[in-house]
Chains A and B, each alone.
Chain A
Amino acid sequence: MKELNELNFPDDVRYAESHEWARTEGEKVKVGISDYAQDQLGDIVFVELPEVGDTFGKGEEFGTVESVKAVSELYMPVAGEVVAINDTLEDAPEKVNNSPYGDGWMIEVKAENPSEADDLLDNNAYLGTLKG
């Protein structure tokens, strides 16, 4: 595992305390897990995603991520309807390790209330929670 200062926390996404990130792109919000989360999990071998059209509330479980060490649930950073999933993760789950904020994105959500993303943590506040 890496030290916190070796990890990457870009400022164009917002973070949930449960380690998901959300990036607002127009009306849609892209969701993935943070560099810290992928680093803690280790080699990711499987990502279970919802189906397009599924609707979840904020904080509800939308899938699971499985590494060689553990299985973790994935929670919605904002409420909304899933409008796209990254199905390339089915054959290449390692993208989550290699590019957690890019190719390793998980779902795209049509947010019920787009301003909900503003309530999430910015990169400094998130880093603060990690430092405990």
Chain B
Amino acid sequence: MLKAVRIDSLEGLFAHIPDDCRRNENLDVPAHLTEWELNDHMDTLAGSMAISPDYKVFMGAGSYEHFIPATVPFLLGRSEFVTAYTPYQPEVSQGTLQAIYEYQTLTCRLLGMEVANASQYDGASALAEAMLMAIRISRKKTVAVSRAVHPLYRRVLQTYFEPTGFEIRELPYLSDGTTDLSSLKDMNDLGGVAVQSPNFFGCMENVPAVKQALENQKALLVVSFSEPLAYGLYKNPGQCGADIACGEGQSLGIPRTFGGPALGMFASKMKYVRNMPGRLVGETVDLDGRRGHVLTLSTREQHIRREKATSNICTNHSLCALAAVMYMATLGGAGFKELAQINYDKSEYLKSALTRAGFKLPFSRATFNEFVVEFPAGFKKTYQRLLKKKIIAGVPLDDFYPELKSHYLLCATETITKADIDTLVQEIKK
């Protein structure tokens, strides 16, 4: 190859790179390993981490452990779907485009909305994009966000908004664990209001009440979520009057893998479609009248409109979206409801076991598969003791909410057994 490009040495290939941009010493990497040694090494690494099923993980807080049916990895692993870059060209990608179209359709049904995009990066960026969309539509400069929205989503939102000059107001939460809406009526300069339901504390928000508080206002109602499985049991954002529904789809067939990759689900009312961010697959017919799929309404996107685009994201999380559609299709409507009921029942069982053991549940609102517990001061020691027994007793909340000392967010999905719950409660009581 060097001969073909008429260079004598490998060094010559890099000659045009300025000296001060070059690294001169060798990379500090360990010596090579054989395949057997490498497998051992990886097993040791994996063993050093608190991963189910070795550990009993009672953590949710935006990332949930669910059984993934074998159909999902099998279909997802097909070479037609696994590519480094999503092929969007209709001439060669009907399969991929149809699969995304099916994902959009099932997303609309799940969320009760009229149009869904091909996906965003994650629940946090989906929320930030939703709030920017609300600002574009309402032509206002301020949004309000509940303090019970996932704290990390709110941080991403802040990052998005910082250079824009738009203002974010925080709505406090009430003693029942839901958002305090009392200040909304006096804020008539809002472009959008975001609540999460179930919210970060696991509580179902009274979304219709938010809708009502926004009556006669221009503000759009944005409903965020981190656990879409809840809509198998509770009313979905569309039924509660959401203008935009956006959130995290990791629950739908995507493993937790250290918090990523994730799936940003994004849907809205049809009348706002031209202000929606992201890619959108539509159905059409070819010259011979045959059904086909293409990207549509691309004039919203930056490769057409540059600085006037609705978002600077011109892509989607296709493989994750496909995992979600395969998961939803595998469960079906009835299976989805049944699984939601199981999640609810498990966490209610955990709730009652903890209450019987004398622990306090500070928030009275209905929850789905996670909820907040107030443990006695000094619970940190117990938490560490449980960790040694391979039990993770939830997520401590004081990092995110300094006022919630000794409050923990506990989650029980279908992967947790009754025996696991009984063991947890017994161990905590010790």
Chain A interfacial positions (CB closer than 8 Å to B): 46, 48, 51, 64, 66, 70-71, 73
Contacts and interface: CB of A to CB of B under 8 A. Distances in A.
Interface in B245-274: 274
A56 to B, nearest CB: 13
A79 to B, nearest CB: 19
B274 A71 contact: no
A124 B304 CA distance: 33
Contacts of B139: 51
B378 to A, nearest CB: 59
Contacts, number: 11
11 contacts: A46-B274, A48-B274, A51-B139, A64-B308, A66-B299, A70-B299, A71-B299, A71-B304, A71-B305, A71-B308, A73-B308
Q: Is the interface of A mostly helix, strand, loop or mixed?
A: strand
B310 to A, nearest CB: 12
Contacts of B274: 46, 48
Contacts of B304: 71
Contacts of A66: 299
A56 B274 CA distance: 23
A74 to B, nearest CB: 13
Contacts of B299: 66, 70-71
Closest 10 CB pairs of A and B: A71-B299, A66-B299, A71-B305, A46-B274, A71-B304, A48-B274, A71-B308, A73-B308, A64-B308, A51-B139
A51 B140 CA distance: 13
Nearest to B139: A51
A48 to B, nearest CB: 7
Nearest to A73: B308
Given A71-B299, A71-B305, A73-B308, 8 more contacts: A46-B274, A48-B274, A51-B139, A64-B308, A66-B299, A70-B299, A71-B304, A71-B308
A51 B218 CA distance: 13
Contacts of B308: 64, 71, 73
A71 B303 CA distance: 12
A73 to B, nearest CB: 8
Nearest to A50: B139
